[in-house]
Structure 1
Amino acid sequence: MSRLRAAITGALWPLPALAVLVAIGLGIGLPEVDALLQAGVEEPLAFVFSGGPSAARTILSAIASSLISVTTLLFSLTIVTLQLASSQYSPRLLQTFVRDRVVQSCLAILLGTFLYALTVLRSVRSADESGSGAFVPRLSVTLAFLLTLVSVGALVAFLSHQTRQLRVETMLRDVHVEAGATLRRLARVADDAAPTAAWPAMPEGARPVPARGSGFLVALAEAQLVEAVAAAGAVVRLVPRPGDPVITGTPLAWAWPDGAGTALDEEALGAALQAHATLNYEREDHGDPSYGLRKLVDITTRALSPGINDPTTAVHALSHVSDLLGVAAQQTTWDRRLVDAEGQVRLLVPSWDFPALLDLALTQPRHYGGEDPTVVDRLFALLAEVGWRVTRPDQRAALREQRDLLVAQCVDRPPTGWDADEVRRRGSAVDDALARRRPTS
């Protein structure tokens, strides 16, 4: 079910496809209802289409021909938006655009109305030579006209929405909201009751379980995998974190028997991991706390590239990074210890920790923006802002390490207009934030 849900929510086609099926069903069924209503002596419907077969054909043909042209325009604008987002900001933003419900809904309305008008058109009949046999599905034609009005509104809404979507602030907000939701969801299930407790050490008899496929680790069917590992009488420790690449033939996990003298069924464990560990050709953020930060860092570094040269966008993106790191500071690690029905640990799932996320967020912006005074100033401010929100010694140590790296780089190559004393002053502000004290300067 999780794979099916990810496939549906991460694709552009499901909602338009559903609209197409509904439209065809209505286009076939509603004229039959029209025929039943018109079979009586008196016409039971008021305020519906009252023209003849020729007028009905003209209206339905105009609706179908115009809407297919508008749908083509909408598809073209969508492709242009995707191309701009990919080249200007980050290719990984395409997932956000494809999942956009406004775009999906507008496509569904336009395609559905087009196919509905086309399907109803086939039921319109002119009178024969004797003057009988004419049929005009009045209710169906009226509904087609109403759907056309809705389609016009959908087109206007789409144009307004795409105008907002092309703004970098909107893209940053969408990534921020998506990443924040992922961090909060993972925090509810992470094994953080004892964040400093070490995992069980792998015994000498631990055996590698090679991967049977390649891709990024995006999901685990945890309950089924724990059940399979328990049935094999083993304990399994995965190697990759969510979002890490997996290569065929390399260790996907290490396994060892749960008791002395127990034989290890490596074939069964390999089959279980192949069945319940989802590998994909692209990363997903559902179980990966780092992916949202990866997107924001991509936007930052792309904005700092010589071809784009937009440090203001980089500074704005780093502000979103700062807030997400503050949310991440509420958690030390997103590792998982999964137990079976008897309470025995069966599956160890590594994940990202706060120092790793901090390093991911700062390394590339520090490298590519280290000589721009606005970017460096924002990096020092980011460290101070996160310093106010950390609570654990390992988090403070990670912040000091990143502060030292930034200070060393800027002392060696000071940003324009700065000197070594100014750099050290900015670095001391991070210490003030970590100590919760008033700035010394």
Structure 2
Amino acid sequence: MTSGTWARRPLHGRPGHRVRGLRGPGTAAALVTGGVLLGWFLPRWERRLPVRGLGFDASTAQATLAAVAGSMITLAGFIVTAITLVVQTVQSMSPRLVAALGHFSRYIVLFGLLIGTAVYALVALSHVRGNSVPRLSVTVAITLVLIDAVVVLYLLASLRHAVTGGGLSRGVGQRLRTVIEHQYPPATRTAALADLADLADLADDGNRQGTLLVTHRGRPSVVVSVNEGRITRLAAQNRLHIHLTHAVGDFVTTGDLVARVKPEGATVGPRLARRISACVRYGPSRTLEQDTSYGLRLLADIAVRALSPAVNDPTTAVQALHQIEDALLRLAQRPLGPTWLLDTHGTPRVHHPAPQWPDLVSLALDETLLYGSSSPQTARRLHALLQRLRAAAPPNRLPALTEREQALRRLVAEHLTDPLLTHLASRPDQQGLGSPSPTRTAADEPPGEVE
């Protein structure tokens, strides 16, 4: 095996980000359409039903349905205002969080539910004529109002947690855990590869005879994901070795090289090259679909923004560090770095670049080390985080953690010149400040007054 490279089977069965992004608008459109159809057909069907619902005369039914329609439209306007406030609050922590967390989807679904109820009431209202009163339809309208009220109250209750710094950190952490479990499953078997020196040459020599260079022909974009199952099957069926040149999250411009393809036999035709290129999906910005680094980037953004002089909120930075610690603990024992994807026979087919442990540790911690070293609360939480990672990481991953511990001590000594604050910031604390201290020794006592 080449240094720093491991092998695993390709991952299958994960829904695409594009599909998930359409769930909210698609569900909302279905609710509105369902409201129209229900309002049109239910009054006609209920004439054949034995149950007629609550007793309403024509004038009462008209007033009830009109009130339902008007109130739902007003409430939908309130939801639009709430969405605007959510966007403004989330963007204050990081402009990238709005798209990453998908807060829009649930509010768009709620908007569709409210408009669907209003449209249902208006369509049902058209069936109230003279003594013909669709009482069951009016009863259903009242039931829908109750359902809408419960959903609105539930979302409002969750809103107070979702738009806080801690809530945003937890939201990113939850998404990041899912990505880590998918991209680096604990049970993944790392294959012992044979001599791959000739395949490794693909990374350095793309002009060898028989090697096909696949370029990006679209507009400048970000690599969002790679269909690992599909590209590995293509490589196995056509006896290819594919070296992807960009990791998920990289920005590529038109004409950039995205893959080198080495066939074992015949040359690769243009049609197959296009199929290989289609296995790499692009987008306007990074997503959390397959991008572990982006999840750590978002958490670091929250911590750094909280530590800025304009905000000065180290507690939010500590909450972000909780999630960073959890993510790094999950990654500490898992194989990282460039990957060979294996076909069903265990043959390496696709070389997939990916960040290694030092890269992820640097991304997750370095900026918070720099900006948080003047905050005793943040420095203590960083000490606790590094201490716990050292206990969990294998020996070959300890140097990256040792470097951060040493840098943290130097930065704390530089920014906190008072002996008491220096000593205070040098102690690990899971809460930052306020955790129950272990039994203290004389060496742990704070220094005396400096003369």
TM-score, normalised with respect to structure 2: 0.81
For residue 281 of structure 2, give the secondary structure of its aligned residue in structure 1: strand
1:115 pairs, out of 119, 124, 128, with: 119
Shift of 1:118: 1.4
1:162 to 152, 159, 163: 159
Kept in 1, the 8 Å contact 2:314–2:377? The answer is yes
1:82 to 51, 65, 87: 87
Q: Which residue of 1 aligns with 2:8?
A: none
C-alpha contact 1:125 1:136 (8 A) present in aligned 2: yes
* Residues 1:415 and 2:416 aligned together: yes
The answer as to whether partners of 1:186 and 1:334 remain within 8 angstroms in 2 is: no
Identity percentage of aligned residues:
29
Aligned partner letter, 1:13: P
Whichever residue aligns with residue 21 of structure 2, its letter is G
Structure 1 residues 238, 5: closer, same or farther in 2, change over 3 A?
closer
Say yes or no: does 1:248 pair with 2:259.
no
- Quick one: structure 1 residues 423 and 73, their matched pair in 2 at CA, closer, same or farther if it must change by over 3 Å? closer
Do the aligned partners of residues 150 and 233 (structure 1) sit closer, same or farther apart at CA in structure 2, a change above 3 Å counting?
closer
The match for 2:7 is none
Provide the secondary structure at the position in 2 that maps to 1:290.
helix
Choose from 210, 232, 236 the match for 1:226. 232
**Cα distance change, pair 395–423 in 1 and its aligned pair in 2 (3 A):** farther
Match of 1:434 in 2: none
Is the 1:334–1:353 Cα contact (8 Å) retained in structure 2?
A: yes
2:115 and 2:258 mapped to 1: Cα distance? 44
CA contact (8 A) 1:191 1:335 kept: no
CA separation of 1:94 and 1:418: change in aligned 2, threshold 3 A? farther
How much does 1:320 deviate?
Answer: 1.9
Match of residue 402 from structure 2: 400
Residue 143 of structure 2 is aligned to residue 106 of structure 1 = no
> Using the alignment, how far apart are the partners of 1:354 and 1:157 within structure 2?
40
CA RMSD of aligned residues (A): 3.2
Verify the 8 A CA contact 1:212 1:274 in the aligned structure 2. Answer: no
Contact 1:182 1:289 in 2 (8 A): yes
Give the one of 7, 23, 27 matched to 2:18: 7
1:149 aligns with 2:146: yes
TM-score of the superposition, structure 1-length normalised? 0.83
Question: Is contact 2:376–2:421 with CA below 8 Å preserved after alignment?
Answer: no
Deviation at 1:329, TM superposition (A): 0.6
Q: Counterpart in 2 of 1:201?
A: 200
Segments of 5+ residues of structure 1 without an aligned counterpart are 38-43, 127-133, 428-437
Equivalent position of 1:33 in the other structure: 45
Specify whether residues 365 and 114 from structure 1 end up closer, same or farther in structure 2 by C-alpha distance, changes over 3 A only: same
- How far 1:341 moved relative to its partner? 4.9
Counterpart-to-counterpart distance in 1, 2:294 and 2:416? 30
Which residue in the other structure is 1:377 paired with?
Answer: 380
User: Which has the higher relative contact order, 1 or 2, with Cα contacts under 8 A spaced 6 or more apart?
Assistant: 2
1:321 shift after superposition: 1.0
**Contact kept? 2:380, 2:425, Cα under 8 Å:** no
Structure 1 counterpart of 2:17, one-letter code = A
For 2:223 and 2:314, how far apart are their aligned partners in 1?
Answer: 33
* C-alpha displacement of 1:183: 0.9
Q: Which moved more, 1:20-29 or 1:1-10?
A: 1-10
CA gap of 1:4–1:119, structure 2 versus 1, over 3 A, is farther
After superposition, give the CA deviation of every residue in 1:233-278 in whole Å (9 maximum; x if it has no partner). Answer: 431111222222222212212222325xx5354x445412332211
Aligned length: 411
